[in-house]
């Protein structure tokens, strides 16, 4: 028999919600253990009959994590109401597998998919300050003044945005962010008069996209996961 764990932790491990979101699911009465509605603070074992909205949750004995080069035109969401190709179609099936964060449909590059809810929380919560690096191609080619303005930070409709690092690159720039607001790089570029022609995420934490080509993936080992959290 496995050890007992708080249900919030088990739900996170199953990849269905962060621990905070799991608390909301419990308060809403959407989780059952052995056919009985669970309560906040309750513990259970992974082998128990734990269900969310009537669907039994599966817990892998060992988590699976993939690095994927998400191509342009593929959506990050697990299910798309318009029937467009999603990232889960590009990697092997695994119970509880889900994308960590988002890359918009027009963007490409490194995307992490995992069955580990705790890893998802660590990589997406702002308090952990994980670096995300992007290579950006723009029209027109940015001037020194535009890059300087970006480096000093710009005001967006949802607040001030300043890069952690910024470097000129051919026909564009490289930028490192510690946050991941929706379309943030594109909006920052637009605020100084630049249209993003191509946007590619090249690094998360200490994990580089390496030699992956669009649509290719690789499973991450222990060393990769440590680099990811760096």
* Residues forming the active site: 104
Residues 6+ apart with CB under 8 A from 147: 166, 168, 173
Measure the CA–CA gap between 12 and 75, rounded to whole angstroms. 23
Tokens of 1: 């028999």
Measure the CA–CA gap between 30 and 197, rounded to whole angstroms. 44
Beta strands in the chain (DSSP E): 5-6, 31-33, 36-37, 43-44, 50-52, 55-56, 65-70, 98-100, 108-114, 132-139, 154-156, 159-161, 165-169, 172-177, 195-204, 207-208, 217-219
Which residue from 117, 132, 88, 153 is spatially nearest to 11, judged by alpha carbons?
117
């Amino acid at each position: 028999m496995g050890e007992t764990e708080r249900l919030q932790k088990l739900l996170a491990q199953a990849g269905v919600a962060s621990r905070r979101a799991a608390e909301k699911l419990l308060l809403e009465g959407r989780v059952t253990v052995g056919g009985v509605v669970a309560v906040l603070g309750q513990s259970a074992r992974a082998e128990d009959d734990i269900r969310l909205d009537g669907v039994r949750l599966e817990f892998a004995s060992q988590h699976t994590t993939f690095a994927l080069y998400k191509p342009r035109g593929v959506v990050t969401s697990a299910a798309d109401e318009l029937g467009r190709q999603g990232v889960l179609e590009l990697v092997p099936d695994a119970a509880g597998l889900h994308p960590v964060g988002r890359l918009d449909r027009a963007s490409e590059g490194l995307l992490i998919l995992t069955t580990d809810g705790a890893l998802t929380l660590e990589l997406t919560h702002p308090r952990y300050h994980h670096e995300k690096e992007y290579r950006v191609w723009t029209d027109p080619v940015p001037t020194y003044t535009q890059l300087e303005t970006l480096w000093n930070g710009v005001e967006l409709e949802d607040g001030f945005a300043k890069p952690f690092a910024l470097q000129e690159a051919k026909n564009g720039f490289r930028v490192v962010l510690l946050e991941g607001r929706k379309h943030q790089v594109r909006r920052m570029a637009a605020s100084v008069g630049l249209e993003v022609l191509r946007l590619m995420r090249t690094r998360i934490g200490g994990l580089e996209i390496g030699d992956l080509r669009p649509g290719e993936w690789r499973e991450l080992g222990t060393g990769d996961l440590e680099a990811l959290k760096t």
